Amino acid sequence: MKLATYIYNQQPRVGAVVDDSVFDLAAALQASGKGDPAQAASVMALLAAGPRALEEANAAITWAQTRGADLAHPLDQVKLSAPIPCPGKLLCLAGNYASHLLEGGGTFAGKEKMIPRFFSKPCTSIVGTKDAIRVPASTGFADWELELAVVIGKTGRNLTPEQATHHIGGYTIFNDISARELTFRKELPLQEGDWFFDWLVGKWLDTFGPMGPWLTTADEVNHPDNLRMQLWYNGELQQDANTGQMIFSPAEAISFISQFVTLQPGDIISTGTPAGVGLTKKMRLNPGDQIRGEIEGLGVLENSVERLD
């Protein structure tokens, strides 16, 4: 099932995407009698309600496809938000593709000598497909990073990689927009730790976390370790890789992170980007640019770029 958060009549709704339509999930549950409409208050609420809630949602949408056509809206007539507009945690992996480490001038020491490195981004960074990435004047160089994002489906802590696999609720596309240069630093003397904290600030900016277009539940993604991922910048292909090239698999990353924090339904872990970012090509995001990211079977994430004055 493809779960979306969309705006209809100026109100956020949870929908199930089928072909070129989105079905109002709460209305389908109500009309079909297949489950409690309150479970579809948000995508996070649906995940938190557990496997039975997803089964009931599937049954309601199957019913709606034959007897509830009035519950569907054409996708091109609704506004898609990020599938989970404000997850409890949005954690991102850094340096999880050897190709990206190497293109940035780093080295790949081998997986056995590494641990997953992760950082967080705030909810205010999240925008949906077709939304603008707004680059403020404080950013001297903004860049793209196409990533596979994993959505947690049930609560867990201290998970083994095998256990972690069963805690994945679904997948979506994420673009970890990054400010590679911050203009305020030019007037200040460097101190110990400045680079690291400026790097973090460059990840945290508003609109620097496009996500979507929807969440595809785990049962529909048979081989998450073999998905082609591509990003186009103004129509030209810049990133072309496969999720199988990750250093640490999603399950391994989840297992590691769960040593430190309890993972809950709706939490999101973005799994890093492959080679092809703009910095190494001296290509920065500018107003008017168009970014299109696609991961096999998960849809297309499209965003424009604007200057924030």
pLDDT tens figures, 41-58: 999 999 999 999 999 999
Q: What's the pLDDT score for residue 277? A: 98
| Paired tokens of 38 | 């309150």
- Report the chain's mean pLDDT, rounded to a whole number: 96
Question: Do 58 and 109 share a domain, yes or no?
Answer: no
Dihedral-angle region of residue 299 (phi above 0 means left; psi in -120 to 50 means alpha; beta otherwise) = left
Q: What's the pLDDT score for residue 187? A: 75
Question: Do 76 and 95 share a domain, yes or no?
Answer: no
Q: Which of 47, 80, 113 corresponds to the end of one domain? A: 80
Question: Do 170 and 203 share a domain, yes or no?
Answer: yes
Length of the chain counted residue by residue: 309
Q: Which of 38, 62, 80 corresponds to the end of one domain? A: 80
- Sign for the CA dihedral angle at 40, 42, 43, 47 comes to negative
Question: Do 25 and 137 share a domain, yes or no?
Answer: no
- Sign for the CA dihedral angle at 243, 248, 254, 255 comes to positive
**pLDDT at 245 > cutoff 90:** yes
Whether residue 13 lies inside any domain: the answer is yes
Question: Do 45 and 101 share a domain, yes or no?
Answer: no
Give the separation between CA 50 and CA 262, rounded to whole angstroms: 17
Question: Do 100 and 54 share a domain, yes or no?
Answer: no
Question: Do 27 and 148 share a domain, yes or no?
Answer: no
Question: Do 179 and 261 share a domain, yes or no?
Answer: yes
Q: State the chain's maximal CA–CA distance in angstroms.
A: 67
Q: Which of 46, 62, 80 corresponds to the end of one domain? A: 80
Confidence of residue 155 (pLDDT cuts 50, 70, 90): very high
Question: Do 249 and 154 share a domain, yes or no?
Answer: yes
Whether residue 39 lies inside any domain: the answer is yes
Question: Do 57 and 100 share a domain, yes or no?
Answer: no
> Domain range holding 24?
2-80
Domain with residue 225: its CATH number is 3.90.850.10
Confidence of residue 189 (pLDDT cuts 50, 70, 90): confident
Tell me the sheet residues that pair with 308: 136
**pLDDT at 69 > cutoff 90:** no
pTM of the full structure? 0.97
Q: What's the pLDDT score for residue 302? A: 98
Higher pLDDT, 109 or 190: 109
Confidence of residue 106 (pLDDT cuts 50, 70, 90): very high
Question: Do 111 and 184 share a domain, yes or no?
Answer: yes
Q: Domain count of the chain? A: 2
Whether residue 85 lies inside any domain: the answer is no
